Structures are given as structure tokens and as C-alpha cells.
Structure 1
């Protein structure tokens, strides 16, 4: 498998640190709200380590890195770990504010926002431009918050632009989904 930057959620490490691993890859992490729970981070391939301009976090749920891709262009990658539906809406709203801070903190030519949003965007609804026709399932309330945020910030949900087989359109299934109750 080829990779350049891997975004991490549920890092479960204490503190905040940037380490060059024995492999030469860069590992950055920021702990979550509770000791050894949650947290975000990155692994950057050793071929790109010298191109990292800045790496840091806005909160325990939002981290970012800026990568120089040429003399003229740079890329900002933002990693997110959203609260689950068990958390209050205020935490989700705070996370979106943190994402906005990360997006607007330093000007770059390109921005990639990725991570675990704990939301179902579902299929495209009429009039939406940021989501294309290849979404999957039914949108939930947190998915609507994500869609509204994308519209406000001018972001596109790139997974929905490409047709995939049905079993490749989701990444996780609730264990309760198979209960007979």
C-alpha cells in the first residue's frame, strides 16, 4: 500500500509530541480530553518529512499540518475526530469552530479536511453542490451539520464524486445493527 500522510483518530497517547520514528517517518499526536482516550495525529512518510512547514493542533479533536509541495504551493491537511452521538451538540459545534480556526489560521493553496466525523451524510439532497450523487444511506442529524459546514466553508465531499461498489461505501457498522431486538 502506498501512502504519504495518514490521519489518526483515537490516538490514545499522553501529551502532545512530534517524533521521528526509526523508519524515518514522522509521528505527531495530541492526546484526547481524557487521559489515554481520543486524540488526533498524523504519520508523515519519510520522503515528505523535510517538507513539513508546521504541525500542531487547535484542540484535542482537531490537528493540522502544512506541507510545502513546491516553492509556490503548500497544502494544509486537517485531521478531525468528532464527538459521537452520545456527546452534547455543544461539543460538535465547538469542534466545527476549531476546524474553522485550523482552516483560516494560515493561508495555503490547498486544504484537505479528513478524519472521523461520526456522521452519515447520505445521498445528495436537491440543490446541494458540495455533495455528488454517489453518497450512501440516509443522512442523520450530525450528517446535516457536516453538510451545512461544508456548504459554509466551500468544501466538497470527495468520496461522493466517485462511484464505488456498495460494500466500499462505508467504513464501520454498529454492532447493534445485527441485534434481533
Structure 2
């Protein structure tokens, strides 16, 4: 593993970057390690952190990109169809979680903790002294959905006075790489159902003179609603 390390840089006081060289069939990999400001910090500092992280992610062109760290954010389960970057599993949301979700959507990455169904004991990554409070505030984010096969806390393993070790299991294969490249060339159409419903109502409000006009309207709103 050590011989495949290309570089490690401390980009800011809160963001580090580890770059791995290509190793056989495994393409280049970049891992960002992040520590977000807590809610006690000014909003400007929180925004500066996310803007920096977004900039570094955008400028890095590795095939695989992984962002891990303590975001002091609670991300619950998906609440609407358009939140396709969030999975269907999670504990609860808070304001920091909303900001993290916005970052994930902007960077077109995937929140992996919420992709896997786990008992709460294997989700909570932080515990207050004395065990009175427990939260899931450490997260793993990836740019390729297929590369991560599991996310869970390692029981009885603490990485500090209050944090538990969060482990992600990865699988990098040539077939999965080809599948990802195919999906990038042929992206899946995402329908905006709110827009679809609005356009259906619009067409229903107008009487059509003939079947051709009605058919034309139907094709129009279906095509329009297919793009967000």
C-alpha cells in the first residue's frame, strides 16, 4: 500500500488529501479527509469550509474520489425522490446535515452511510462522555456508487475520547469501472415529478380542438418534465 501512495497534502487546517497511484487494474484514487466546523462557529466559517472542499473536489480528476471525515452533521433518510444522492436509511437530520446534503448534490457525489441498512448501534459514530448522547456525524462520500460495498461502525473500537471508528468496505474491479464509464456516457433520465404534475394540470385546463393537438401537448409535457 505504501509504495502506491503518490502524495499527501494538508490543503487547509480542516482538509487533507491523499493521492494513490494506479495499481494494476485499480485506477488512481484520491481520498479527502475533512473536519467541518461545529454549529458553534459562525456561518461564514462553515461556508468557507464547504467552498474549499467543493473547489478541491472539482479540481481533482481521479477516477475514484472518496471524502471521509467528521462533518458534525446528521443526515437522515431520503425525504423526496429528487434526493437521489441520499439513501433510504439514516437516523435524523439537523442543519449541518442539510448543508452537507447540499454539498453532495452540488458535487454529484453519493452519501454512502445512508445506502446501507444498519441497526442504530452500528450507525452512531459519536458518543458524549458518559454515553448520554449518541449521533451519526462521521460520513463517507464517494463519486462512484458501485465502489463501496458496506459502511458500518466497528464495535468497541474508539478512535478518540468520543468517536468510534467508521469503516467502509471498497471493491474496485475492471467490470465495475467499465459499467461506471458506460453510465457516464449514457446518463439515466431523471424525471421532475413536480414539473410533470404541473404540466399535466396545464394541459387539462385547455380544451383541444382535435386529437393531434392533444397528443402534441402530451408529448410536450412528458419531454419537458424529463429534465430538471
Please tell me the TM-score bracket, short chain as reference.
0.5 to 0.7
Q: Deviations over 1:39-67 (max 9, x none)?
A: xxxxxxxxx11111121122100010110
Partner of 2:15: 62
Residue 101 of structure 1 deviates from its aligned partner by 2.5
Report the 3-state secondary structure (helix = DSSP H, G, I; strand = E; otherwise coil) of the residue aligned with 1:122.
Answer: coil
Candidates 62, 71, 74, aligned match of 1:108: 62
Larger Rg: 2
After superposition, where does 1:50-89 map in structure 2 within 5 Å?
50-70=3-23, 73-89=27-43
Which of the pair is proportionally richer in helix? Answer: 2
TM-score of the two chains, using structure 2 as the length reference: 0.53
Q: Deviations over 1:108-164 (max 9, x none)?
A: 000000000001111211121011111112x11110000011001011111111111
After superposition, where does 1:113-124 map in structure 2 within 5 Å?
113-124=67-78
Gaps of 5+ in 2: 134-228
- Contact 1:58 1:101 survives alignment (8 Å): no
Gaps of 5+ in 1: 1-47
Residue 89 of structure 1 deviates from its aligned partner by 1.1
Distance verdict in 2 for CA 1:106–1:166, change over 3 Å: closer
The count of corresponding residues between Structure 1 and Structure 2 is 131
TM-score of the two chains, using structure 1 as the length reference: 0.66
Structure 2: how far apart are the matches of 1:144 and 1:106?
A: 24
